[in-house]
A and B are shown apart, each in its own frame.
Chain A
Amino acid sequence: MSVAEAEGGKRSSFLAFDKLGVLIALIIVAGALMPFTIFRANRIVLGEGRSLIEALDPVMTLVLCAVLIAGFVVALWRVDTRAKLVVGFMVLAVLAINVGLSADYLTPEENNFSRISPGAGFWLLTFAFALMVADALTRLRFKAWTRLGILAAVAAAVAVLLWSGTLDNLSILREYATRADAFWQEARMHLLLAFGAVAIAILVGVPLGIFCYRTPSVRAAILNVLNIVQTIPSIALFGLLIAPLAWVALHVPGARAIGISGIGTAPALVALFFYSLLPIVANTVVGLQSVPEAANDAAKGMGMTDRQRLWAVELPLAFPVILTGIRIVLVQDIGLATIAALIGGGGFGVFVFQGIGQTAMDLVLLGAVPTVALAFAAAVVLDAIVEMVSTPERPK
């Protein structure tokens, strides 16, 4: 850092550092000094770190170091933001490939028990360049379609990387390999829980929101009740729904036939549905309230009935706000669905809790990484859609 500062002082007239760049550069230095990967003799023993030099064969070490130094320089200097974005993505890709190569290099031959997982150094380096990319993306303010395109490109790159087998020797993918079927089954369950709860919440919440908007006398009461539901901790709500649903399964004919029971998917779905209701109802009310008076008056003047006005004027104008509520709820439900595993509801939480139980952190990651990726992708996609529907339509 002292070198950087000294140089910065000398040439500050035409080569100023940006402050975030200095922070990123420091993280890069720290990351390069920390263990790049962790080697463990078997799945659950404590690991030993392998530095950049030990973790890769000498040629690849040189390549990676050269790439990191290039990334370091680009992070530090005030270069074009687009250049920072491209370099950031490229370094991230090189890091991902190299952590896979390191796993190949460190795995002893004919030893199926040893495990190699990314170390603190890898995570810090990834964090540093992810910061650079995030900052560049924030500054460039891309259009919604461009953001979706970038998301799709990143997803495709990750898919190619996984499919090519480069990362197959990493511990997290070894965990995946032994339970590939279960993984996809839990993935389907996770999506079913999150999207199912949101879908039901939209079907119930939007009409309820319209009702609240039209009937001010009940509005406060309904919103208060939903607010209280929102403050009940998820694990408690999951638990509390077990008893009533078990009762329903026993006493309502046909309930058991459609899969309702005390534990499992039903209470998880119902709990997620309850959590989803408040943001959707509240945003529907706010959205309808923000419809300009003039638009409503014009519609009335044209002789529209209440129902026509609702469909042709109020709902379309309130749509972006309702969609924002749906975005909040979807991201929240994807995260909360992990807890469903505690009551036998399935989803990626199964791996998280199994991993905690066996102190196998790679198994925790196998559950946590897809959840985070899914929530993140959902946030990006819905943010883009909200932006697209909010921009006034251009004349054709």
Chain B
Amino acid sequence: MKIGLVIRLIVLALLIAFLISPETFRFAFAPLVTGNQPVIYNQGSLLEITINHLMIVAIAVAAATALAVGLAILVTRPFGAEFLPLSRSLANIGQTFPPVAVLALAVPILGFGTAPTLVALFLYGLLPIFENTLTGLTNLPGAVTEAARGMGMTGRQRLLRVELPLAFPVILAGVRLSTVISLATATIGSTVAARTLGEVIIAGLLSNNTSFVLQGGLIVGVLAVLIYDALSALERFLARRTGQSRRAAA
């Protein structure tokens, strides 16, 4: 576990160093190009594109989390109980839609650029979070919710103090899935002219420049793995904490 952490920190440091000064790493990519092809991506700053990529993902995932958790809370209350079975199967059906299709179909409504990418990421990000929040809220230990009710907690108190905190690690797992999917889908966003790392990969594919493909792919891949690991660690930490607090309560 310790070694894993050291490796991850080194990888993160390398990634930041590469983004700030890509020319320093010219030697590593030089063997990949033929003739006088440019070695380092030269149609914009890699750092700027990466930040833009992360911003799009962050905005989309934040919005998706807000709506998905809200909806999941709604359908698990008595008022929205009628929607529960349908929302389950809609979430299932929604997952059969390929991200590219969602992205492409958003273009006629929103035009080219960042907007359709944001919407596609948002819509596609909803499903895992919604599904996990549902799982979290419907699989609570019966004894705990009974105890909360027995203590005379109102519905709102139960939701905020018992149900959501207990479901939180599962919800976070949904956010993690959603973030990783969004990081990947955002690269496809550059086919509709959003400024994301996909731009670097596609520029490489179009000019047959393996070095570009590798740079774009490496940055997205490393980001995805690091963010995935960081969120998993946070989840384990939170699960341990709620587990401990549950034991303390019992």
Contacts and interface: CB of A to CB of B under 8 A. Distances in A.
Interface in A335-371: 335-336, 338-339, 342-343, 349, 352-353, 355-356, 359, 361, 364-365, 367-368, 371
Contacts, number: 138
A361 B221 contact: no
Query: Taking each of A232, A371, A376, A379, which has the highest tally of chain B beta carbons within 10 Å of its own beta carbon?
Result: A232
A interface majority secondary structure: helix
A339 B86 CA distance: 30
Nearest to A228: B225
B85 A239 contact: no
A138 B92 CA distance: 11
B96 A335 contact: yes
Contacts of B97: 335, 372, 375
A352 B89 contact: no
Contact of A235 (B98, B104, B184): B184
Contacts of A240: 213-214, 217
Measured as residues with beta carbon below 8 angstroms from the partner, the interface class of chain B is 35 or more
Nearest to A331: B96
B220 interface: yes
A338 B96 contact: no
A242 interface: yes
A233 B198 CA distance: 10
Contacts of A336: 98
Interface in A224-254: 228, 231-237, 239-240, 242-243
B202 interface: yes
B222 to A, nearest CB: 9
A234 B95 CA distance: 17
Contact of A134 (B90, B185, B217, B228): B90
A361 B96 contact: no
A375 B98 contact: yes
A364 B210 CA distance: 28
A372 B101 contact: yes
B216 interface: yes
Given A138-B89, A243-B32, A361-B108, A371 B101 contact: yes
Measured as residues with beta carbon below 8 angstroms from the partner, the interface class of chain A is 35 or more
Interface in A21-69: none
Contacts of B101: 335, 338, 352, 367-368, 371-372
Contact of A376 (B96, B107, B187): B96
A198 B228 CA distance: 25
A384 interface: no
B205 interface: yes
A231 B204 contact: no
Interface in B179-223: 180, 183-185, 187-188, 191-192, 198, 201-202, 204-205, 210, 213-214, 216-218, 220-221
The 9 closest A-B pairs by CB, nearest first: A335-B98, A236-B217, A233-B184, A239-B213, A368-B101, A375-B96, A231-B224, A232-B221, A135-B86
7 contacts: A18-B82, A135-B85, A138-B85, A231-B221, A233-B184, A235-B188, A379-B93
Interface of A: 18-20, 131, 134-135, 137-139, 228, 231-237, 239-240, 242-243, 331, 334-336, 338-339, 342-343, 349, 352-353, 355-356, 359, 361, 364-365, 367-368, 371-372, 375-376, 378-379
Given A231-B228, A235-B188, 16 more contacts: A231-B184, A231-B225, A233-B185, A233-B217, A233-B220, A234-B184, A239-B201, A239-B213, A242-B210, A338-B101, A355-B104, A361-B108, A364-B105, A368-B105, A376-B93, A379-B93
